[in-house]
A and B are shown apart, each in its own frame.
Chain A
Amino acid sequence: MFDHNRAGTAYAFTAFTAILPGHEEAVRERIESLPRGPESPLARLDTLHYSRLQIFDELVYQGPPQKKRDRLKSSYLVFTASLDGDLDPFLDAIADRLPAEADGWWGHCVAYPGAANREAFKRWLKHNQVPNALFSSMYSTESVQAVRSALALRERVLEFATAAQGLEPAELQRRFHTELAGLV
């Protein structure tokens, strides 16, 4: 209830992991060459709504009245994930379903223990977690699977409504129970 990373059943995970000196371009190349869409390794995480992996290497000086300039000593690999459910199963799923890819990008980060060392892997990511102050969503109680199912169901309803125009009541009722009622 008091977890500010959570909204409804959704959870926002944010991690900043320092990249090993000299490895910045290797990480950039690694994450920017990942396949997109259904071929993305992140698509293997079935509780993941949205995610981004990016490199954070500069703090922008805003100009006066900002007096001091902050300069980063490390570049960071930033991983953000909007997921449904709890964090632990999500981190387990990363270790289970994309260990090679996870090692491929986080392996360039300081003190990364590897996905094979499950508990150390999860501890490391949690250590690098940045807690959120506020997280919100338009549909925070809907899981990824629920969203996908609802989208598919809407298509079915539309098809049914089109096909059922002009049916006699008994036939309409029969087809409704055969074709739609079992989908909810």
Chain B
Amino acid sequence: MSQVEAPRPIERVAIPGGGNTYGARTALMLFTPIQPKWTLLVRVSLWLGKWIPFVQQHILQFRFIHFVRWAVVRELPYNGPPQEPDRLNYSYLLFETNFDGAWRNYIDSFAYCISRDIRYLWGRGFAFPGPPPAEPLKAWIAENSMEGGTYYCAYPEASTRDVLAAVAVRDRLGALVNESEGLSPEAFQDAYRRFLVDVQAHL
């Protein structure tokens, strides 16, 4: 069995009080080169992803992702002197995600549950440590993650599970309000009990 190189210190990503965490929310941004022979494939795959429901469902199968984005960056915006144009040799894959919990758990889920997808996209770069196992991937992410700055979320107390549960309760409550018009007290009680059964997992 080949020995896996010891991962680099992953604390680099979660700087104390830093720009990529707030409460239990975490942001991760990567900016990594794509091999020229795969750039078109990556572009087309991401572009098609918007139109293929399966891709969306696949991305969001982990119910701890709030928002996620990808971009393929060939050149960086230029504003004239004194900025010198940055002429890049490669296209770069920009990835940003906002999720619940510690990033180590996030990467574990990715590494073991959708390793083929990970390899399909980031494997188009250079020297990508295709998972599993997860540790080399974590080291790679620690090396490529953009750090620092400031981070804001509008409802930091709420996980995606909380948000989805709250939306489900709101929608079901709306249905109860509509169906309860003109009901007798006894019929309303039955409807209310059905409501509670439906939403109990969301409360």
A-to-B contact residues, CB < 8 Å: 4, 10, 12, 14-18, 20-21, 28, 31-32, 34, 36-37, 40, 42-43, 48-56, 59-60, 62-66, 68, 70, 72-74, 76, 78, 80, 82, 109-111, 124, 127-139, 142, 144, 146-151, 153-154, 157-158, 161, 168-170, 172-173, 176, 180-181, 183-184
Contacts and interface: CB of A to CB of B under 8 A. Distances in A.
B90 A130 contact: no
Contacts of B20: 52, 54
A18 B177 CA distance: 53
A21 B154 contact: no
B11 interface: no
Given A52-B29, A62-B127, A28 B148 contact: yes
A62 to B, nearest CB: 4
Contacts of A40: 150, 152
27 contacts: A32-B19, A32-B149, A36-B152, A50-B98, A50-B153, A62-B126, A72-B76, A73-B85, A80-B29, A82-B67, A111-B83, A133-B47, A134-B70, A135-B69, A136-B60, A137-B60, A144-B155, A148-B154, A153-B166, A153-B173, A157-B173, A169-B186, A169-B188, A172-B192, A181-B180, A184-B170, A184-B174
Nearest to A170: B185
A150 B19 contact: no
Contacts of B144: 60
Nearest to A54: B149
Interface of B: 17, 19-20, 22, 25, 27, 29, 31-33, 35, 43, 46-47, 49-50, 56, 59-60, 63, 65-73, 76-80, 82-86, 88-90, 92, 94, 96, 98, 125-128, 143-144, 146-158, 160, 162-167, 169-170, 173-174, 177, 180, 183-186, 188-189, 192, 196, 199, 202-203
A172 B188 contact: yes
Contacts, number: 273
Nearest to A6: B50
A175 to B, nearest CB: 11
B68 A136 contact: yes
Given A18-B77, A36-B150, A49-B154, A173 B188 contact: yes
B31 A134 contact: no
Contact of A172 (B43, B88, B189): B189
Contacts of A70: 33, 88-90
Contact of B79 (A18, A36, A42): A18
Given A53-B149, A134-B47, A136-B60, A12 B143 contact: no
Contacts of A154: 162, 165-166, 169-170, 202-203
Contact of A49 (B94, B150, B153): B153
A78 to B, nearest CB: 7
Contacts of B88: 59, 70
A133 B43 contact: yes
Given A42-B152, A170-B185, A135 B67 contact: yes
A54 B147 contact: yes
